[in-house]
Amino acid sequence: MNDRRAVRSAAPLPLRAELRRQLGRRRTLLTFGFLLLLPLILVGAFALGDGGSGRGASFVDLAQVGPANFTVFALFASTGFLLVVVVALFGGDAVPAEASWASLRYLLAAPVPRGRLLRVKLQVALLSSAAALVVLPAWCLVVGTVAYGSTPFEGAGGDRLDWSQFWPRLALIVGYQLVSLLFVLALAFCVGVVTDAPLGAVGAAVLVTIVSSILDSIEALGGLREALPTHAQFAWADALREEVAWSGMATGALWSLAYTVVLLGAAFYLFSRKDVLS
């Protein structure tokens, strides 16, 4: 038993050490700092507004009803771009950062098996992305409670979800967002293994996502739009209905997982043949 523990503790590039390094990086601190600042900016923007009734037929109109509505609005406002950039940043910077610091070749010469290096980097990127997706709504709930009281969620049609109903719905929304954004992380990660420029990997993932969203707006594509990775990015809104509609989220999750498997498979294949020691 002691021998097994010694082998585990001596394993190269331990996940715990990589997580500590990730949390200590300025990029990570700035990213989470901005996520914490965003709800405060939104509250300030509403306070500087015209003081409307806070009633209407959209997430924006209902944002000031209470903390639940405020959180949903923040997620709605950040789904299409902000969260994409955050996830792409964590995925696209994982491997190129080592290469740009000239430490990748030393890690592999340690020796750290290439497969293990990618797995650890991918796990850290995934955990960082998941943490970001949890921190944003959690902090929005706190800020929204201070600013707007504790009113339960109110839908555009006047339907309400009490807190015992809203909590599991919010967990479902966050889980779906993580799954739907996996393709962004996988794409950034895949590009990252073939380039030494972190911004190139991040930019490629963001650009593909933007192009996908533009194509999704072209109705002439018909059913082909369902295969676009961003087609169901807002399907999480179906979780806020009186009865959860699962079809949109199921379709979006399956397409995202399919893209993720292909892209991560390509990343491991390309990295296993990449010359990083010359």
Of 218, 232, 216, 122, nearest to 181 by C-alpha is 232
Helix (H, G, I), strand (E, B) or coil at 90: helix
DSSP per residue over 169-199, as a string?
HHHHHHHHHHHHTHHHHHHHHHHHTT-S-HH
Rounded CA-CA distance 200/194 in Å is 10
Strands (E), 85-243: 153-154, 160-161
pLDDT of residue 230: 95
Of 168, 183, 173, 156, nearest to 236 by C-alpha is 173
Torsional sign, CA 211, 216, 220, 221: positive
pLDDT of residue 18: 78
Helix (H) or strand (E) holding 130: helix 114-148
Helix (H, G, I), strand (E, B) or coil at 7: helix
pTM for the structure as a whole: 0.88
CA geometry: angle 245, 227, 86, nearest 5 deg: 80
Specify the pairing of strand 160-161 against strand 153-154: antiparallel
| pLDDT, mean of each 10-residue run, the chain (278 residues) | 44 75 87 96 88 62 92 95 96 79 54 78 94 97 96 86 95 97 96 88 96 95 92 95 93 97 95 67
pLDDT of residue 251: 95
Q: What are the structure tokens assigned to 183, written together?
A: 């393709």
pLDDT of residue 252: 96
CA geometry: angle 139, 145, 146, nearest 5 deg: 95
Q: What are the structure tokens assigned to 273, written together?
A: 């043949």
Question: In a 10 Å sphere around its CB, with 0-12 CB exposed, 13-18 middle and 19+ buried, how is residue 159 labelled?
Answer: exposed
Rounded CA-CA distance 48/267 in Å is 47
Helix (H) or strand (E) holding 76: helix 67-79
> Largest alpha-carbon pair distance within the chain?
68
Helix, strand, coil proportions of the chain in percent (round to 5)? 70, 0, 30
Q: Which residues contact 124 (CB under 8 A, 6 or more apart)?
A: 15, 18, 19, 22, 90, 94
Q: What are the structure tokens assigned to 106, written together?
A: 């030393």
Amino acid at 24: G
